[in-house]
Structure 1
Amino acid sequence: MSTTPAPSAARPAKKKRPFYASFGFQIVAALVVGLLLGLLAVQLGPGADDEPNSLAATLATVGSSYVTLLRAAVVPLVFTAIVASISNLRRVQNAARLAGQTLVWFAITAFVSVIIGIVLALVLQPGSRAGDGLEASEPSRIGSWWDFLIGLVPQNFLGIAVSTSSPAEGVLTSSVSFNILQVIVVAVVVGIAALRAGRKAEPFLAFTESLLKVIQRVVWWIIRIAPIGTAGLIGNAVVQYGWDKLTSLAWFALAIYIGLALVLFVVYPVLLKAHGLSIRQYFTGVWPAVQLGFVSRSSLGTLPLTERVTERNLGVPREYASFAVPFGSTTKMDGCAAIYPAIAAIFVAQFFDIQLSFIQYLLIVVVSVVGSAATAGTTGATVMLTLTLSTLGLPLEGVGLLLAIDPILDMGRTAVNVAGQALVPAIVAKREGILDRELYDAPREGLPFADDSSDDEPSGGTDGAREPAKA
């Protein structure tokens, strides 16, 4: 006689969320809305005195304000996360090995990316196919191998700098900037000092971990309004740049985006598959950060979200992710520091009809693998390109040829940067046996983070366990 099984005592299945409540859908919808608003702003034309019309000004303000919000959270988030992570690394075996593995895989992925860039530039010959009307000009910033060493020395406690300027109108304006590399250095020193202080530093470490939770909650609120910021950013991009500038540099832009696509959709999946990780789970997990990186064009601005998806979606322990992701945001740039400078350097050589030697091609590889660290204090593709050109002895005026479409290319470059900054910690965590596979393989269900039934902070820990879900 058959018996009916007793109902399970487990928590009842959650009601399926409507599609419009999906974070991914909201971001995509924001991209579409922003694109339409941008096109409408272009059709409206300039306002009085050739100033942007009200719609264009609104889009610019909304987009820039959202990036400012994200960047404002970077310094406290990185500082508290790294100090707390150094304290918690006592519970992680082979902490030094983790750091070494991270650097090795940063170099491996950069090496593969720069080889792809060189091959594409030689095959597509973008410099030989450049259109008319391009003007060479000196770059405003030049990369230097000394930048890395200089960037390691903090200007003050958190590497924060304040600059003032007096425009023609006579109004004094001030701006605040920070060097994330210096923030990392200070945080590492403070964390190590707290460990050396022993029991006397326990109250400080406890306060730091509590402060980190508060900051993470604030960051979570900022992330939740990402669709609004996304609409403003993409709309402003349409108004500012459009796509007409691609005409004379179409082959160069094509080479860049093919290279970016090969790294993101071929190289990264191959690495994931080689380590037994689901490709689909990686992309669904990292996609919120990739989308925001694409529209914001800022790895640092996207850093809070990148770190969160690395922990919450990819299952990387917080103790490790809070070190690896901020460090990667300055030194792990497959888009800006590998593919782009390789293709751009060869473009400049082709445009000026300069034959590169085998040694110069090797130098492109060397600069791309280690050069991102050398420009970490002044991150940017232009700085990286000038470093590459000066190392190869190519005319720096070639940078001016590419500035017209740099913002359009920067969208794709930043998206790949962000994807790589989450990929390497996941691979290293898997190789070291500390990856939370249950969290990595968890169904997303349209949520920005796996098992995100509330806005509680992700559980830390290195044993692969998660906190029990709340009823």
Structure 2
Amino acid sequence: MSTSISGSRTRSDEARDPDAATKPEKRSNPLTSFGAQIIYGLIIGLILGLVSRSMGDGNWLAATLTTVGSAYVGLLKVLIPPLVITAVVTSIANLRQVTDAARLAWQTLLWFAVTALAAVLVGIGVGLLIHPGRGASIDVASAADLGFVGSWSAFIQSLVPSNILGLDVRLYGSGEALEASPNFNVLQLLLISIAFGIAAVKVGKGAEPVIGFARSLLAIVQKVLWWIIRLAPIGTAALIGKAVAVYGWEAIGSLGSFVLAIYIGLAIVIGVIYPVVLKANGLSIAQFYRKVWPATSLGFATRSSMGTMPVTERTAVGALGVPRAYGSFAVPLGATTKMDGCASIYPAIAAIFVAEFYGIDLQLTDYLLIVFVSVIGSAATAGTTGAIVMLTLTLSTLGLPLEGVGLLLAVDPILDMGRTAVNVTGQALVPTVVSKREGILDEELFASDRTAASAER
């Protein structure tokens, strides 16, 4: 299996650049590297956000930051459908001669579950240690029923495509203010692409023109994606500036213990659990985090695993050494179902908060249910606002008041930045670990100075 995938990858790279093998690798200056540019963007965004807050509500700077940030996220999201379709169809074609492709899929799901289990145990441990709901001074009147609950039936229904692109339209507002917002269900899009890819392989020679077209279109999409990625420092500055200008930190108030508990849990997962997994599999911790930093920081700024997915995929394949044939399947799947921040740490600590706030004692079976829902139930958030749906699913399973979700909405944007950063990091981690364990990781590329921004693939 190792030879089939890596060999295909090498021939493909040489076809794009015949002189690739003879070109010396350019070493980037750490002060001007793409990762450093992202850090500069974060710092500039923080400064602009503080300046905007000092200017009062509705100022031009806040409006500009919002416009630029939204435009950048829109640019990333617009590439998701063509990237998923072409990458998955091409990947399945490349995997035709690989007999253990099913094993890769199984290993991916297994490591999704293993890291999710570790994350939810961290969440429960931190919640029991800090007790975020005890003595909370938040007004109970702010609790409100959201009117929806995450459920397994909704997840099953979401798997059935309503059209060939997995596209739906959501309505917001009412009356003359009613707005329609198109939305891609990426899990549906992934399933549709897998079906078409398998069908193309089964058709044989007659489908070669379609597969060739998919390869060519994928190359074009990746080139445009590279241009957009280079704008990430600007997008990051705008998004962080907007977050500081709009949300600030005043909202934390009486929920300070809850916010602290969440960020401690996130820090343990990204700073302890993930490094242990990398070390146990013989991978350099420093090298992984150096290369995944642009995706992690962009996830923090955009608060969207879907919006960051193109960068995550490019990082995994172009910098970390994950074979494209496998990474093009694993990363989109992870972006819909692999959410250690939203689906493991957050619902665990939030459930403990709600139980303590309402004076409800949780038993051992309740904690086991939290673990079960977090490890298995994250798939139910696919294509939705993951954290809130996952929390309602957890609370309804435990029989806790759903109105408790309304208590936490004030600080959700602040929490969502950290949650998404952990989600994105985990979505790059698992394909890298599975590739290493299966002997298909390009370890020379992993050890190199190559980053997602410099990967001309």
| CA apart distance, 1:379 | 3.9
| CA apart distance, 1:136 | 1.0
Given that 1:332 and 1:372 are in contact with CA atoms closer than 8 Å, whether structure 2 keeps it comes out as yes
Query: Is the counterpart of residue 45 in structure 1 residue 56 in structure 2?
Result: yes
**Cα offsets for 1:201-238 (capped at 9, x unmatched):** 01100100111110111111111101111111001101
Query: Is the counterpart of residue 147 in structure 1 residue 154 in structure 2?
Result: yes
**3-state secondary structure, aligned to 1:245:** coil
> 2:401, 2:25 → 1: CA distance?
61
| CA apart distance, 1:25 | 1.5
| CA apart distance, 1:93 | 3.9
> 2:69, 2:99 → 1: CA distance?
42
Given that 2:138 and 2:255 are in contact with CA atoms closer than 8 Å, whether structure 1 keeps it comes out as no
> 2:52 is aligned with what amino acid?
A
Query: Is the counterpart of residue 162 in structure 1 residue 173 in structure 2?
Result: no
Query: Is the counterpart of residue 456 in structure 1 residue 443 in structure 2?
Result: no
> 1:11, 1:192 → 2: CA distance?
36
Query: Is the counterpart of residue 90 in structure 1 residue 96 in structure 2?
Result: yes
> 1:216, 1:371 → 2: CA distance?
32
Match of 1:34 among 38, 45, 48: 45
**Cα offsets for 1:281-334 (capped at 9, x unmatched):** 110111110000001000000000000000111110000000000000011000
> 2:362, 2:272 → 1: CA distance?
28
Aligned 1:299-310 pairs, distance under 5 A: 299-310=305-316
Given that 1:38 and 1:56 are in contact with CA atoms closer than 8 Å, whether structure 2 keeps it comes out as yes
**3-state secondary structure, aligned to 1:131:** coil
1:396 corresponding residue in structure 2:
402
Given that 2:132 and 2:257 are in contact with CA atoms closer than 8 Å, whether structure 1 keeps it comes out as yes
Query: Is the counterpart of residue 315 in structure 1 residue 321 in structure 2?
Result: yes
Aligned 1:282-293 pairs, distance under 5 A: 282-293=288-299
2:246 corresponding residue in structure 1:
240
2:204 corresponding residue in structure 1:
198
> 2:275, 2:316 → 1: CA distance?
16
Query: Is the counterpart of residue 118 in structure 1 residue 124 in structure 2?
Result: yes
> 2:39 is aligned with what amino acid?
V
> 2:41, 2:339 → 1: CA distance?
26
> 1:66, 1:12 → 2: CA distance?
33
| CA apart distance, 1:404 | 0.6
Query: Is the counterpart of residue 23 in structure 1 residue 34 in structure 2?
Result: yes
**3-state secondary structure, aligned to 1:155:** coil
Structure number with the higher helix fraction is: 2
Bigger mean CA offset, 86-95 vs 205-214: 86-95
Query: Is the counterpart of residue 367 in structure 1 residue 367 in structure 2?
Result: no
Query: Is the counterpart of residue 430 in structure 1 residue 436 in structure 2?
Result: yes
Cα separation, partners in 2 of 1:172 and 1:142, compared to 1, 3 Å: closer
Bigger mean CA offset, 339-348 vs 242-251: 242-251
**3-state secondary structure, aligned to 2:92:** helix
> 2:54 is aligned with what amino acid?
Q
Aligned 1:320-359 pairs, distance under 5 A: 320-359=326-365
After TM superposition, which residue ranges in structure 1, 4 or more long, deviate above 4 angstroms? 10-20, 163-168
| CA apart distance, 1:17 | 4.7
Aligned 1:207-218 pairs, distance under 5 A: 207-218=213-224
> 2:322, 2:62 → 1: CA distance?
40
Larger radius of gyration: 1
| CA apart distance, 1:13 | 6.4
1:469 corresponding residue in structure 2:
none
Aligned 1:376-395 pairs, distance under 5 A: 376-395=382-401
TM-score normalised by the chain length of structure 2: 0.92
2:193 corresponding residue in structure 1:
187
| CA apart distance, 1:12 | 8.9
Given that 1:148 and 1:377 are in contact with CA atoms closer than 8 Å, whether structure 2 keeps it comes out as no
The percent identity for this pair of structures is 59
**3-state secondary structure, aligned to 2:168:** strand
| CA apart distance, 1:163 | 4.4
| CA apart distance, 1:21 | 2.9
Given that 1:141 and 1:382 are in contact with CA atoms closer than 8 Å, whether structure 2 keeps it comes out as no
> 1:111 is aligned with what amino acid?
L
Cα separation, partners in 2 of 1:41 and 1:140, compared to 1, 3 Å: farther
TM-score normalised by the chain length of structure 1: 0.89
2:237 corresponding residue in structure 1:
231
Cα separation, partners in 2 of 1:13 and 1:181, compared to 1, 3 Å: closer
Q: Which runs of 5 or more residues in structure 2 are unaligned?
A: 1-20
> 2:41, 2:401 → 1: CA distance?
41
Aligned 1:42-81 pairs, distance under 5 A: 42-46=53-57, 52-81=58-87
> 1:143 is aligned with what amino acid?
G
> 1:124, 1:288 → 2: CA distance?
32
Cα separation, partners in 2 of 1:124 and 1:85, compared to 1, 3 Å: same
Given that 1:24 and 1:448 are in contact with CA atoms closer than 8 Å, whether structure 2 keeps it comes out as no
2:145 corresponding residue in structure 1:
138
> 1:441, 1:190 → 2: CA distance?
35
> 1:20, 1:349 → 2: CA distance?
48
1:463 corresponding residue in structure 2:
none
| CA apart distance, 1:140 | 4.7
> 2:161 is aligned with what amino acid?
P
**3-state secondary structure, aligned to 2:169:** strand
> 1:32 is aligned with what amino acid?
I
Cα separation, partners in 2 of 1:140 and 1:408, compared to 1, 3 Å: farther
**Cα offsets for 1:438-458 (capped at 9, x unmatched):** 0111135xx545xx3xx621x
> 1:308, 1:12 → 2: CA distance?
21
Cα separation, partners in 2 of 1:305 and 1:14, compared to 1, 3 Å: closer
